[in-house]
Structure 1
Amino acid sequence: MKSILKYLYKKTIIGNYIISKLLDLNEFYLCYIKPEKKYLTDKFERNFGRKIDLNNPKTLNEKIVWLILNDRTPLHTQCADKFAVRDYIKSKISEEYLVPLHFQTYNVNDIEPNNLPNDPFIIKTNHDSGGGIIVKNKNSIDWVEVRKNLKARMKHNYYYKSKEWQYKNIKPCIIVEKLLLTKTGDIPFDYKIHCFNGKANMIQVDIDRNSNNHYRNWYNTKWEREPYKWTSIKDAGKTTEPSKEDVEKPKSLDEMLELSEKLSQDFAYVRVDWYDLEGKLYFGELTFHHDGGNRAILPEKYDEILGQKLVLPMKTSSL
């Protein structure tokens, strides 16, 4: 049946039209009508092949889904906002860890060369999850296409596809930050500290993130390689597998861990992202639900081993 529908969709005009409309209706139902809990539990069952136990969650992924549904505060919204979180960072640690901000606007039409620096920069929207538009030479960019891309992103509310409440009430804007580059002109590694109940627990290192050779290694806080992997899906269905080679321990690791724990004190679970540029630390972002609790940790036993380390809070809600 799937092969027939695929043929009709790709090879016939009427089939393409009808199936496209049906897909649009299904998308509308999933995003705007289907209850949050049902949406998330069905998604979990599809990904893991079993029902989730939200009454007694044991695995880390189960607990992340529980947090999506039950742990909601205005601070989550502020810290999911890539612009507003800057004030949180200033108050908790110091503005010296912030990536320099070149420009901020609520108007897509303001994104034009005269308002932007000559040095390399990155353009982001503050209200979604994902990367930005990297600009190394603003004179070689199709700015009409960039504004078209940003206009579409500004209209998108990430909450409706993820059900992560912290994104729902963010006022969309555009920010332009300095592009961090190594001496060789490369994007620095991402160091992501997963904190449980205010303590750094595991370290995710993303290598060559903006390339086809995106690897992801896992370490403990002593910089020893972990025996599990927790991959994400990237372009063309590729996954962020661990690399065979180890990543050199960053000189700033102790500082990174200390600062991450300071930033995580207000949350049961949070991932604190950092860039280490020649020993200088820059804050990346705070993420509360890594991959929405819907990517397997392998071998499977480590999903429960890690889950045992996370103590869930009492239910909180700002609905």
Structure 2
Amino acid sequence: MKSFLRRFFQTSEIGYSLLSPFARIYYFFLHKRYLSPEKFTRKRFKKNLGYDLDLDNPKTLNEKINWLKLNYSNPIGSTLADKYEVRKYIDEKIGNKYLIPLAFVTSNPKDIFPENLPDYPMIIKTNHDSSGGIVVKDKNATINWKEIQLRLRKNMSQNYYWDNREPVYKDIKPLIIVEKLLDDGTGGFPSDYKLHCFNGNVEMISVDVGRGSKEHFRNWYNKEWEKQPYQWSKMLKNSSDVNSRDIEKPKCLDEMISLSEELSKDFKYLRVDWYLIDNKLYFGELTLYHIGGTGPFRPDSWDAKLGEKLNILDQ
């Protein structure tokens, strides 16, 4: 019954209209909207990490990210989190040659139909959340466009702020953006490089290989490309994080580091994401609060070791 109602809600105009009031009530309690940001954050932190969040004297990396979330108001935070507006920021800071080609932008899900879309493979996503995207490799194939429109309509009706209480998402104006789908040459997604910058310096690099496949794994490196003995994930049981294979050092690593440090120099913590295709860099996104500051470390001692490197006080 639950799966039927979910599909009825997501794929039917009638279902969406009938169930929307109940969905709003469901999400109200699911995301505990009756709690203050601090109470919500403390409860979620304890549930995910198993220890109490110390906001008076934060020491671990996860604690410091949550301290920044609750106490440090960034004047351009919403611009960085907005997948559309951040493109202008990247253009101004490092140039548009690093941007993934943009094909279409709209605020109306009903505009998403073949005549408005490019003839090349694309990804359709909303700018205001973290829901991934809808991959369309051939718009002329048999595709349920009505279902895609309804899914986008549902995404646009939600405020991602309530998922994690990350303030940068609260006031983003929802849009739908269509970008060219990057291909690594094998038909899969390109490797995803995430550079974690502390006070303007790259301290951690994670690399995801084979995302979306059974071969997906993630490694961690420092800026000298030395493999690190820890993992940092949403859940400890995430087996995609456990792999003994090494990843070849990218030829453009120095450029990746230099650009990331340029983008992060005015921030205490910033994660800068990149895709790499034929040694050409493409900007992915900017993140102020990795996993919302609730990702367990393995071994857990690294939460404190890396926390020592991040200075959250005014310098």
1:72 deviates by 2.0
Distance 1:57 1:122, change over 3 A: same
1:238 and 1:60 mapped to 2: Cα distance? 20
1:49 and 1:230 mapped to 2: Cα distance? 15
1:238 and 1:230 mapped to 2: Cα distance? 10
1:24 deviates by 5.0
Q: Which amino acid aligns with 2:291?
A: D
1:240 and 1:130 mapped to 2: Cα distance? 19
Q: Is the 8 A contact 2:234 2:296 kept in 1?
A: no
Tell me the equivalent position of 1:112: 113
Tell me the equivalent position of 1:214: 216
2:297 and 2:30 mapped to 1: Cα distance? 30
Tell me the equivalent position of 1:190: 192
Tell me the equivalent position of 1:71: 72
Tell me the equivalent position of 1:154: 156
1:232-247 aligned within 5 A: 232-233=234-235, 238-247=238-247
2:285 and 2:187 mapped to 1: Cα distance? 22
Q: Which runs of 5+ in 2 are unaligned?
A: 4-21
Q: What's the TM-score once normalised by structure 1's chain length? A: 0.87
Tell me the equivalent position of 1:274: 274
1:295 aligns with 2:288: no
2:126 and 2:224 mapped to 1: Cα distance? 35
Paired residue for 1:143, among 145, 149, 160? 145
SS state at 2:33 partner: helix
Q: Is the 8 A contact 1:272 1:287 kept in 2?
A: yes
1:41 and 1:239 mapped to 2: Cα distance? 27
Q: Is the 8 A contact 1:204 1:218 kept in 2?
A: yes
Q: Which amino acid aligns with 1:213?
A: E
1:227 aligns with 2:226: no
Q: Which amino acid aligns with 1:120?
A: P
Q: Percent identity?
A: 50
Structure 1 residues 1-25: Cα deviation after superposition (integer angstroms, max 9, x where no partner): xxxxxxxx99xxxxxxxxxx8x956
SS state at 1:33 partner: coil
SS state at 1:194 partner: strand
Structure 1 residues 268-290: Cα deviation after superposition (integer angstroms, max 9, x where no partner): 10110000100110000001111
Structure 1 residues 165-201: Cα deviation after superposition (integer angstroms, max 9, x where no partner): 0000000000000101022222110000000000011
Distance 1:29 1:229, change over 3 A: closer
Q: How many residues matched?
A: 293
Tell me the equivalent position of 2:248: 248
Tell me the equivalent position of 2:169: 167
Paired residue for 1:203, among 191, 202, 205? 205
2:251 and 2:146 mapped to 1: Cα distance? 42
Q: Which amino acid aligns with 1:241?
A: D
2:190 and 2:157 mapped to 1: Cα distance? 30
1:23-34 aligned within 5 A: 24=25, 27-28=28-29, 30-34=31-35
SS state at 1:240 partner: helix
Structure 1 residues 96-143: Cα deviation after superposition (integer angstroms, max 9, x where no partner): 000000000111111100010111011110000131111111122211
Structure 1 residues 219-246: Cα deviation after superposition (integer angstroms, max 9, x where no partner): 0111110010112359xx7443132211
Q: Is the 8 A contact 1:121 1:177 kept in 2?
A: yes
Structure 1 residues 232-273: Cα deviation after superposition (integer angstroms, max 9, x where no partner): 359xx7443132211111111110000000110121101100
Q: Which runs of 5+ in 1 are unaligned?
A: 1-8, 11-20, 315-319
Structure 1 residues 8-57: Cα deviation after superposition (integer angstroms, max 9, x where no partner): x99xxxxxxxxxx8x95684374422111000001111122221111000
Distance 1:240 1:287, change over 3 A: farther
